Amino acid sequence: MAMPLEGVRVLAVEQFGAGPWATLQLADLGAEIIKIEDPGAAGDIGRYVPPFQEGEDSLFFETFNRGKKSVALDLRHPQGRAVFHDLVRASDAVFSNLRGDGPAKLGLTYDALRQVNPRIVCVSLTGFGMTGPRAKEAGYDYIIQAMAGWMSLTGDPDGPPTKSGLSLVDLSGGYVAAIALLAGLHRAQRDGEGCDADVSLFETALAELMYVGTWAATHGHATPRRANSAHPSIVPFQAFATADGHITIAAAKQHFWTRLCGAIGRADLLDDPRFATFASRDEHRDELLAALDAVFAARPSDEWVSLLVDAGVPVGRVNEVAEALEDPQTIARDAVVEIEHPNLGTVREIATPLRLSGELPEPTRAPFLGEHTEELLQELCGYSEERTAELRGAGAFGERRVAVPDPPAA
């Protein structure tokens, strides 16, 4: 059985996190992802992110770029653009994550490439989109979390607005862009015509406000921050301190609430009209949580997890990252893979969560800067060694830069 995306070829003018995360999902399903990197800009800035970085390689870069290929090319050079067009003729999609005005400037839009390949799908992932008053602004995950209202929803009620511990806007934007690319490919195969896909981190973050956004847009409701990462309206649905740590409990259905009360020896709570329904538990959350806090503080986390799992109550320990990677479920599902790297040694990273039946690519290291230039130009464009040398001499592949560049906009 062929790999799910075997035969799909994507040219990726990508950097840092959000863009490489998008194409990583495709690479993990068998697509051929060719990173277009300009050595004059030192390539993808992700190569230089500390703390685990050596030369042009880093564990950050490995995380986002396993299984890809790299071509050195200067898209601002006339002959560099000509080489790029030859690659476009042999590809299915062009992906970029630049500022909103970047794709048009570099000729990465469908209008710029339709004469080269009328079936090409051009996906742009930017901070704010390719139109609107903020199109030319740089957009980083942290800034988008602030602007889209996420930070107003996160953190302790008495503390400052807080960002997520992970770059969730970047990751979400990557997933949305990957979906857009696959949708564009389906349409191109069906109709014989490519398209543009204009995806922004800002709109992705707005969409992920979900029901909180609907509440605000419809009724002007301001969802408050809750202590202990509590759900805005369902109680109990939050973290609780135990004798030796924290656990999370999610009584998201009435029967979970019933089971919880029985498991913790507080069946009396079921007879209290203040706690009879979702709405009444929300109205009287302070009284209810005071009672539950006292119960859970009396025993260690593992005891509570074992007891509540047996009772059929959704529960989990609050783990450190290293603990999560050693969880029995992690091990049973082979969710951590090992990849050998000539400079970084044995790299242990998280496997793809995209599990389809049949064969998936064996995880391989990320490419060195420009590693596949000659190979791919010969294979896809029919270039001879002499032609490649001529282009190199003319500057089409850029001049290798050793200094570390400034971090890019998303």
Kindly list the catalytic residues: 170
Determine contact, residues 193/186, Cβ cutoff 8 Å.
no
Residue 5 CA: distances (Å) to CA of 319, 328, 361, 396: 35, 30, 10, 30
What is the rounded distance in angstroms from the CA atom of residue 392 to the CA atom of residue 40? 13
Q: Give the contacts of 33 (CB within 8 A, at least 6 positions apart).
A: 10, 12, 23, 24, 26, 27, 67, 68, 69
Residues in contact with 307: Cβ distance below 8 Å, sequence separation at least 6, in sequence order: 263, 264
Nearest CA-CA partner of 63 in 33, 25, 92, 112? 25
What tokens does 364 get?
Answer: 């391989």
Q: What are phi and psi of 28, to 5 degrees?
A: -65, -15
| Rounded Cα gap, residues 57 and 341, in angstroms | 10
Question: Which class for 298: exposed (0-12), middle (13-18), buried (19 or more C-beta within 10 A)?
Answer: exposed
Q: At what angle do helices 78-89 and 385-394 cross, to 10 degrees?
A: 140
CA atoms within 13 A on the CB side of 173: 35
DSSP 8-state secondary structure symbol assigned to residue 39 = G
> 11 to each of 14, 101, 169, 175, 299, how far by Cα in Å?
9, 19, 23, 17, 55
Pairing label, strands 237-241, 195-200? unpaired
Q: How many CB atoms lie within 10 A of CB 102?
A: 19
